Amino acid sequence: MTYKLSQILENLDVTFSHADIEIDGIHTLSEATSSQLSFFTDAKYTSKLSHTKAAAVFIDEKHADLLPSTTVALITDEAYLNLAYSSKFFAHKMGTESTELKVGEKCDIDKSARFGMNVVLGDNVTVMAGVYVGDNVSVGSNTLLYPNTTLYHGTEIGRNCIIHAGAVIGCDGYGFAHTKQGEHIKIYQNGNVVVEDDVEIGANCTIDRAVFGTTYIRKGTKLDNLIQIAHNCDVGEHTLLAAQVGLAGSSTLGRNVVMGGQSATAGHLELGDFTTIAGKGGVTKSLEGGKTYAGFPAIEIKAWRKMQAVLMRLVKKR
Q: What is the predicted pLDDT for the residue at 309? A: 94
Each residue's pLDDT tens digit, 63-105: 999 999 999 999 999 999 999 999 999 999 999 999 999 999 9
The edge-to-edge listing of strands for the beta sheet with 206-208 is: 114-115, 132-133, 150-151, 168-171, 206-208, 228-229, 246-247, 264-265, 282-283
Q: What is the predicted pLDDT for the residue at 318? A: 76
| Segments forming the whole domain that contains residue 78 | 3-90
Return phi, psi of residue 69, to 5°: -65, -20
Domain of 34: which CATH number? 3.40.1390.10
Q: What is the predicted pLDDT for the residue at 202? A: 98
The closest of 129, 134, 125 to 110, measured between CA atoms, is 129
DSSP strand pairing (138-139 vs 200-201): unpaired
| 66 and 178 share one domain | no
The closest of 176, 159, 99, 93 to 133, measured between CA atoms, is 99
Q: What is the predicted pLDDT for the residue at 112? A: 98
| 80 and 113 share one domain | no
| 97 assigned to some structural domain | no
| 316 assigned to some structural domain | no
| 84 and 106 share one domain | no
Return phi, psi of residue 15, to 5°: -110, 145
| 140 and 63 share one domain | no
Domain count, the chain: 2
Q: Is 63 a catalytic residue?
A: no
Q: What is the predicted pLDDT for the residue at 68? A: 96
| 204 assigned to some structural domain | yes
| 172 and 193 share one domain | yes
Domain of 295: which CATH number? 2.160.10.10
> Which of 90, 116, 145 marks a domain boundary?
90
Q: Which of 27, 153, 164, 231 is catalytic?
A: 231
The closest of 192, 240, 237, 193 to 218, measured between CA atoms, is 237
Q: What is the predicted pLDDT for the residue at 93? A: 95
The closest of 253, 249, 250, 201 to 227, measured between CA atoms, is 201
C-beta neighbour count of 260 within 10 angstroms = 19
Max CA pair span of the chain? 76
| 317 assigned to some structural domain | no
| 127 and 59 share one domain | no
Q: What is the predicted pLDDT for the residue at 162? A: 99
Parts of the chain with a pLDDT under 70: none
- Model pTM? 0.95
Amino acid at the residue 308: Q
> Which of 45, 62, 90 marks a domain boundary?
90
What are the CA-CA distances from residue 112 to residues 108, 127, 133, 153 (Å)? 12, 10, 12, 19
Each residue's pLDDT tens digit, 100-140: 999 999 999 999 999 999 999 999 999 999 999 999 999 99
Half-sphere exposure of 212 (CA within 13 A, CB side): 22
